[in-house]
Amino acid sequence: MLNIPNPDAYNAAGTHTNQNNSGHGSQETKQDKLNRLLDTRNKIAEAMKTNITFSHPILKQNDKAVFYPKTINVIQGKAGVHKSRLAETICSALLSGPGNSKDLLGFKKDPLTRYVVVYVDTERNLSEQLPYALQQIKLKAGYQIEESITDFDWVSLLEFDRESRFEMLDIFLEYVREEYNIHIFIVLDVITDCVFNFNDTKDSMKLIDMMNKSINRFDVTFLCLIHENPGNTDKARGHLGTEILNKASTVIQISFEKDKDQHAMELIKISYLKCRNSKKHDPFYVQYAEEQKGLVIADTGTIKEAMDRKKFKADYEAIIEYLTEILKEPAAKRDLHDSLKDALNCSERTLEDRLKEIIEEKKTIYNTEGIVCNLQKTIENRKVMYFLHPVISETPF
């Protein structure tokens, strides 16, 4: 854990209290708050006088950095697209020993560092589903079923009502921080079930504030799983979804590929929607394998077959990827259409239909700074202008 001033003066949620002589906590005064603020400022000033060395990634995929320590990260996708299995594979990679030969989708941890993996589940039953999932993490990490792993912990919030889940999560994470003295990788599966109302600003910000305080005060990293809204939109659910994507360092989307009639195929696409510390990585394809009881890299034949079934001009994903680059600044309709038609080899009518649907369905687009945006258009000097509009929090930090 990191050393912080008077760590006993912080409760489980990270709220600062003063301790009087009798041992009872009291609310900090205005001067106490100012002192804490100035103390933080002084620490930053001291850090500025040294050569800043950035942390090494805790997880890579094929030598490309995926997660960095002390960050918040997200896996998003529709219900049933194997979000949890992807998270389980990542956990296995972080727990994997040097002798493990299993292919974990190319994910590999920093070999010189140990990590505690803490899996917080909110959905699966306690008799079969959750124990089986945890068992699979162990097996894929190279351990036997009966073996104990000292760096692996878990808990379920399923038995607690929604009103008390945030409190129980906070209590458990405080326990975990006291129990382990190495870096803690915390999986929240799913994050929207950790609060009473994921559409409520207050509930959402309370959880995000807790995570932000945790990554700044302690040696922890979060991986948050979240459902996307039903239907064609790829927006993460609720106000919590909007906020967590803006705060995340890495956002991974998992989805079934669809054929030209928009029917889901067995091929699964995993895309890096946001990589704050690097260029966005290329997507890759996986499929569920019954024999391995998990996700495996899809073979080239399966990918080619799926792409042949999918082919149609100007699909949404391709347009959205181009919009990120083209709309660094607002662009006139004519200029935007010309750029996209050349890149996508599609008709004016097809392109117009796609852009209209992207606007109406409020599809998520990340700008070059990693901020969640929607495509919008307006009229300026009789010209139709397209631009990326940030999805701004209703509650400032």
pLDDT top residue among 3 and 362: 362
Average pLDDT, the chain: 86
Q: How far is CA 327 from the centre of its chain?
A: 24
State the pLDDT confidence band at 22, using cuts at 50, 70 and 90.
very low
* pLDDT at position 261 over 90: no
Measured distance CA(331)–CA(57) in Å, rounded: 37
What is the C-alpha to C-alpha distance for residues 181 and 48, in angstroms, rounded to an integer? 27
DSSP H helical ranges for the chain:
30-48, 83-95, 129-140, 162-179, 201-217, 238-247, 300-310, 316-326, 333-344, 348-360
Question: Is the dihedral angle over the CA atoms 335, 336, 340, 346 positive or is it negative?
Answer: negative
- Cβ atoms of 370 and 276 within 8 Å: the answer is yes
Calculate the CA 23 to chain-centre distance: 40
pLDDT grade, residue 395 (50/70/90)? very low
Split at pLDDT 50, 70, 90, the class of 370 is confident
pLDDT at 27: 80
Q: Per-residue pLDDT tens for 226-242?
A: 999 887 667 888 889 88
- Is the preceding omega at residue 66 within 30 degrees of 0, hence cis? no
- Give the lowest-confidence range in 72-76, 192-196, 260-264, 311-315: 311-315
Residue 345 reports pLDDT greater than 50? yes
Mean pLDDT of all residues in 308-312: 69
Spans of all domains in the chain: 7-48, 59-310, 316-390
> What integer is the mean pLDDT of 52-70?
90
Confidence of residue 25 (pLDDT cuts 50, 70, 90): very low
CATH entry 3.40.50.300 includes domain 59-310 = yes
Please determine, for residue 61, whether its predicted confidence score (pLDDT) is greater than 90. yes
In angstroms, rounded to a whole number, what is the distance separating the alpha carbons of residues 156 and 166?
12
Second CATH level (architecture) for the domain 316-390: Orthogonal Bundle (1.10)
Tokens of 306: 């799926």
Please state the pTM of the whole predicted model: 0.75
pLDDT reported for residue 346: 75
Task: Please report the sign of the dihedral spanned by the C-alpha atoms of residue 258, residue 264, residue 267, residue 273.
Answer: positive
Q: Which pLDDT value is given to residue 15? A: 40
Task: Give the C-alpha separation, 79 to 77, whole Å.
Answer: 7
Query: Would you state the pLDDT for residue 273?
Result: 92
Is the pLDDT score of 164 beyond 70?
yes
Mean pLDDT computed over 368-381: 90
pLDDT(151) > 70: yes
